[in-house]
Chain A
């Protein structure tokens, strides 16, 4: 009797399982579109981040290159001026500084000459940029150059050279 009852229950139970399985499959199939959309959305967000990462990479590599330098301070501009242009004293040298990342500071120096041969001004710019490179230190880089040749003497005049360099103070 007990066995017969069990046998009677087997078919309804099986049909119940089959129905549940079919229902689950139908729900899964119905959800495929939503699932795919959600996955695509997540992938597109990741691709957006990867795009940002690609844009950031060169900057990080440049920073890494600076972090790898032996010296973390650029050569002194006063020494360069004194060494390279001993006969041309600048009218003024102004400095400004901006804090950057990982302890680095952007230093700007504007060197103004009331009268200097244009060739000498260009020489100073080249020498200032070379000085840091030869010493394994952060180089100066010419950011801006403004020359006003004297009337009647186009080879000479007033010049303002703005240099920038990166400096890391000791930790």
Chain B
């Protein structure tokens, strides 16, 4: 069964307990993300068992399946799309395996460093379910139940790169060799690219060299970067003499890692916390750790609830907007009806523009009724009458008729000169009359000028 991505993605982890089962007893490393990178501390197994009884949130336990009990295989697919590639990878792996894919737990790790243009390269990591069960039983027998079951060879390789980095573009053959009392495990690659891993219970150098010839063909002449780790490497040499014989056949630099007995455990912890491209977890299907299942379930629930909350929020905003608009409309409608009724003097049943027309008719009727009241406060006509009389005296005008009302005026008579008529016209216009002046030629008998001032007839 293929491992689900969420069982491998441990971005949430802050602390990792890595347990490496070796013949001398479990090696436990506690790693924590710090400002300066990962902080490792070795914990005695007894203390680890006690601490792991109640695992805090954000902590992960990890272990590994040995290279002997698992396999890695590079698969190249002529698709640049990883999604497409992932669809065919299981079938390709199934062909390569000597046993049914259904009886395996497997995952595909993207390896962009080895991909040709237009293709996708992946490392398939697989182990038979039975081997996984056995490995987990071994862990349980030691009092541990790792949430992640990583691959030993990959852990050796990536930790080798982490502790002994290679410059970018360096294609030096590298072999990370782990020497334990019961096994010899190798992870081989070119530069940063992992190629394959190998494990043997014996220290048969011929078998090891055969593996290297297959995996690193034509590289025998090139200098090989040897990295030695494992409990035997830490004791200053191994009884089998691999540390001397192998570099002799493939010369190069030879380095023993610091604290080699905890190297693999450090690698396991680092792979969980760094969550790099080669991270893997072979606990899949029924073998998935219950804590990860619960966590995945919680994450799904949280996502679902977030989506639901977002949906509800959007719906609430939409409903709120509609309610606000409706409330505003109701307020305006009430204000409108109230004003209509107030202005019309009765409840207006019409709505909208019809109501306006009704109210307008009513207002005009009321204004006509009330106009005499307003007119009572306007300037009196007696002032205009007095003014007209005063002007007659002042400008030597004799009125033959004078007709004065609020909006109309009509004065006929004679004036001593032209200017007098103009003065009268100006005065009347200042009162707001739209008046017109008609003058005749001076009368022959007395030279006086007949005139008529009157408001213009309404067109």
Q: Show the binding face of A for B, using Cβ within 8 Å.
A: 7, 10-11, 13-22, 24-25, 27-28, 31-32, 35, 38-39, 42-43, 45-46, 48-50, 52-53, 55-56, 58-60, 62-63, 65-66, 100-101, 104, 106, 118-119, 122, 125-126, 129, 138-139, 141-149, 154, 164, 166
Contact = CB atoms under 8 A, between A and B. Distances in A.
Contacts of B313: 21
Given A28-B322, A42-B336, A145-B385, A66 B314 contact: no
B325 interface: yes
15 contacts: A22-B311, A22-B314, A45-B355, A50-B339, A55-B367, A56-B366, A58-B374, A59-B367, A122-B382, A122-B386, A142-B381, A142-B382, A144-B381, A144-B404, A145-B402
* Secondary structure class of chain B's binding surface, majority of residues: helix
A50 B332 CA distance: 13
Interface residues of B, number: 64
B230 to A, nearest CB: 44
Contacts of B403: 144-147
A126 B305 CA distance: 89
Residue in B307, B311, B312 with the greatest tally of chain A CB atoms within 10 Å: B311
B359 interface: yes
Contact of A43 (B314, B332, B363, B399): B332
Contacts of B317: 25, 28
Given A7-B301, A66-B376, A145-B402, A19 B311 contact: yes
A145 B383 CA distance: 12
B205 interface: no
A13 B300 CA distance: 13
A136 B404 CA distance: 28
Contacts of B360: 52
A48 B332 CA distance: 13
A50 B312 CA distance: 41
A19 to B, nearest CB: 7
B268 to A, nearest CB: 31
Given A28-B318, A49-B359, A166-B372, A42 B307 contact: no
B328 interface: yes
B371 interface: yes
Interface of B: 297, 300-301, 303-305, 307-308, 310-315, 317-319, 321-322, 325, 328-329, 332-333, 335-336, 339-340, 342-343, 352-353, 355-356, 359-360, 363, 366-367, 369-377, 380-382, 385-386, 389, 392, 398-406
Contacts of B370: 56, 59-60, 62-63, 100-101
Contacts of B374: 58-59, 62
A10 B376 contact: no
A35 B325 contact: yes
A59 B381 CA distance: 20
A24 B312 contact: no
Nearest to A123: B382
Given A18-B314, A52-B359, A100-B369, 16 more contacts: A7-B297, A7-B301, A11-B304, A13-B308, A14-B307, A27-B318, A45-B353, A53-B342, A56-B370, A59-B366, A62-B370, A62-B374, A118-B389, A125-B381, A125-B382, A142-B381
Contact of B369 (A14, A43, A101): A101
A34 B247 CA distance: 83
A62 B336 contact: no
B424 to A, nearest CB: 15
B372 A106 contact: yes
Nearest to A146: B403
A50 B338 CA distance: 11
Contacts of A142: 380-382, 385
A141 B304 contact: no
A147 B312 contact: no
A53 B329 contact: no
A13 B305 CA distance: 10
Contact of B310 (A18, A42, A122): A18
B362 to A, nearest CB: 9
Contacts of B311: 14, 16-22
Nearest to B408: A144
A125 B340 CA distance: 42
**Which interface residue of A65, A101, A129, A139 has the most chain B CB atoms within 10 A?**
A101
Given A10-B301, A144-B405, A145-B402, A39 B382 contact: no
A21 B318 contact: yes
Given A21-B314, A141-B380, A49 B336 contact: yes
Contact of B373 (A22, A148, A166): A166
A122 B385 contact: yes
- Kindly name the residue among A16, A27, A104, A145 whose own CB sees the greatest number of chain B CB atoms within 10 A: A145
A42 B367 contact: no
B404 A62 contact: no
A46 B372 contact: no
Contacts of B336: 42, 45-46, 49
